[in-house]
Amino acid sequence: INIYIPRDAGALALGAEKVAAAAREEIEKRGLDAKIVRNGSRGMFWLEPMVEVETAEGRVAYGPVKPGDVAGLFDACLIEGGAHDLSLGKPEEIPFLAKQTRLTFARCGIIDPVSLEDYEAHGGLRGLRNALEKTPLGIVEEVTESGLRGRGGAGFPTGIKWKTVHDTEATQKYIVCNADEGDSGTFSDRMIMEGDPFVLIEGMVIAGIATGATKGYVYLRSEYPNVHRILNEAIDAAHAAGMLGKNVLGSNYAFDMEVRVGAGAYVCGEETALLDSLEGKRGQVRAKPPLPAHEGLFGKPTVINNVISLASVPIILDKGGAYYRDFGMGRSRGTIPIQITGNVKHGGLFETAFGVTLGELVDDIGGGTATGRPVRAVQVGGPLGAYWPRDLFDTPFDYEAFAAKDGLIGHAGIVVFDDTVDLLKQARFAMEFCAVESCGKCTPCRIGSTRGVEVLDRLKQGIAPEEQIETVTDLCNTMKFGSLCALGGFTPYPVMSALTHFPEDFRPAPMREAAE
């Protein structure tokens, strides 16, 4: 029998390694013919470490498991027919999972992440094989037809980006995967790279064939050492099986790839700073044009896509662009892996078609706050995303619907706050974050963020509040329209949304105390 114990970083942080060691000991002690598979996570972090056991009726789950529970679990499975206090039944029937539409994450938590055989047995490589039957332009058309938009945050149509690189003549082209997942409350890139790394490799190979690129780089944030290990194991396995190399799966297409680790700067998630860093320089934002699609890495045409964008390509090539396009709403097609985090009862990864509302995600799926207090605000889209009040919770997850209400989906991370949150403090944090992470190249961001902290501090002290609010609003406008990249340009979102939707928090302290 197979026993599945995740080696996802989230599960490891909660003690999965010790659970695996206890299980190994128990197998030896009892002389069992059992194998421990280190799978990825299913993405229900309040249940991690979640252990799954293969039975005649399929897999059954237990969680959250502590090392001290392991002996009792073996007794339950071997002697008592599987009943145990930690029993969760079949994982796919747990409501959090049952309500999802898993296209990109279909295999995550199910397979052995570094077994290409397991990957193929669960539908892997079908997309690549179909791609090899098409012309490069045919692949680009399929991706365009799917309506896939960049999942890193900007939502630019992937097919159009690929077409630009396809149409640009050059002796060398590159595929760069942006795995510098830096937004607060996000972990979907990490989870897929740890739970199903071959789907990213397959997506990158397809992107290479479609655009004429023969070399790929994964730019990985240094905070993900576990991903680094797993991804390298998977790349080695892909090489050994001929999925990477001079003749991809026996074809005439060549594609090779490697992982490069960043050095901890948030701004290196911005695509041009990322390219500088990849070239061995200090990561600073480049002015556009030229677009990376025309002149990117080492001056060559380069596709830069986020992990999830690339990992969504195999299913599109497997089932067709029209199949993928069928999910979603408006111009937001397909599914999006939403990460529910912060002060929330059921935190985890929820992949669903676009169109689900913020309220459904926070109240029904997330189950409200972990503290049991009322939800007051959620921040969507990382540290540069807007704060949403309850009366906007009917907003559907859709790029245009979010933009219409001065917010952004970004990388689809949601951070939940209860009624103890101080939105003035959060606004100050946004300005401070920008000041710390600014690459320093342009004035609105470099100077504006530092002045922003000072102005909000004066507001907190109750010094001429109307004047401070006017100044911070003016500053936000300058940063929004005058910054070179999204770091300075988007910092106004959290600040202005906090000010607009929670004005009571911006009243000077003495007035607030009087009101309370």
Host H or E run for residue 376: strand 375-380
93: which DSSP letter? Answer: G
Host H or E run for residue 3: strand 2-4
- Least distance in Å: CB of 497 to ligand NAI? 14
User: What number of other Cβ atoms are within 10 A of residue 419's Cβ?
Assistant: 11
509: which DSSP letter? Answer: H
List the x/- string, 483-512, binding to ligand NAI by CB under 6 A: --xx--------------------------
List the x/- string, 205-224, binding to ligand NAI by CB under 6 A: --------------------
**451: contact with ligand SF4 by CB under 6 A:** no
Among 237, 485, 496, 498, binds ligand SF4 (CB under 6 A): 485
**439: contact with ligand SF4 by CB under 6 A:** yes
- Least distance in Å: CB of 130 to ligand NAI? 24
Binding segment for ligand NAI among 73-81, 211-219, 246-254, 288-296 (CB under 6 A)? 288-296
Among 150, 203, 444, 452, binds ligand NAI (CB under 6 A): 150
Q: Applying CB under 6 A, what is the total number of residues that bind ligand NAI?
A: 26
**446: contact with ligand SF4 by CB under 6 A:** yes
What ranges make up the beta strands (E) of 402-470?
Answer: 413-418
- Least distance in Å: CB of 189 to ligand NAI? 7
Question: For residue 376, which amino acid is it?
Answer: R
User: What number of other Cβ atoms are within 10 A of residue 287's Cβ?
Assistant: 10
List the x/- string, 295-314, binding to ligand NAI by CB under 6 A: ---------x----------
Placement of tokens 């939502």 in the chain:
155
**438: contact with ligand SF4 by CB under 6 A:** yes
- Which of ligand SF4, ligand NAI, none does residue 267 bind (CB under 5 to 8 Å by kind)? ligand SF4
260: which DSSP letter? Answer: E
Q: How far is CA 361 from CA 76, 183, 230, 319, 365, in A?
A: 35, 19, 30, 28, 5
**445: contact with ligand SF4 by CB under 6 A:** yes
Angle between helices 188-195 and 225-240 (to 10 degrees): 40
CA atoms within 13 A on the CB side of 298: 12
Placement of tokens 């897929």 in the chain:
192
Query: Per CB under 6 A, which of residues 93..122 are in contact with ligand NAI?
Result: none
**144: contact with ligand NAI by CB under 6 A:** no
149: which DSSP letter? Answer: B
Placement of tokens 């002149």 in the chain:
295
Question: For residue 363, which amino acid is it?
Answer: D
Host H or E run for residue 387: strand 387-389
Cis-peptide into 157, omega within 30 deg:
no
**292: contact with ligand NAI by CB under 6 A:** yes
**199: contact with ligand SF4 by CB under 6 A:** no
Nearer to ligand SF4, 199 or 434 (CB): 434
Q: How are the residues of the chain apportioned to helix, strand and coil, as percentages rounded to the nearest 5?
A: 50, 15, 35
- Which of ligand SF4, ligand NAI, none does residue 472 bind (CB under 5 to 8 Å by kind)? none
136: which DSSP letter? Answer: H
User: What number of other Cβ atoms are within 10 A of residue 465's Cβ?
Assistant: 17
Among residues 143, 135, 177, 189, which one has the least CA distance to residue 162? 143
- Least distance in Å: CB of 441 to ligand NAI? 14
**63: contact with ligand NAI by CB under 6 A:** no
- Which of ligand NAI, ligand SF4, none does residue 440 bind (CB under 5 to 8 Å by kind)? ligand SF4
N-terminal to C-terminal alpha carbon distance within the chain: 61
Query: Per CB under 6 A, which of residues 248..277 are in contact with ligand NAI?
Result: 269, 271
Q: How far is CA 212 from CA 144, 241, 254, in A?
A: 17, 22, 9
Nearer to ligand NAI, 41 or 186 (CB): 186
Nearer to ligand SF4, 197 or 488 (CB): 488
Find the angle CA(300)-CA(133)-CA(140) to the nearest 5 degrees: 40
- Least distance in Å: CB of 361 to ligand NAI? 18
**321: contact with ligand NAI by CB under 6 A:** no
Cis-peptide into 289, omega within 30 deg:
yes
**453: contact with ligand SF4 by CB under 6 A:** no
Binding segment for ligand NAI among 116-124, 155-163, 167-175, 198-206 (CB under 6 A)? 155-163
Q: Applying CB under 6 A, what is the total number of residues that bind ligand SF4?
A: 14
Interacting residue ranges for ligand NAI, rule: CB under 6 A: 150, 152-154, 156, 160-161, 164, 181-183, 186, 269, 271, 291-293, 304, 381-382, 384, 408, 410-411, 485-486
Interacting residue ranges for ligand SF4, rule: CB under 6 A: 267, 285, 438-442, 445-446, 483-485, 487-488
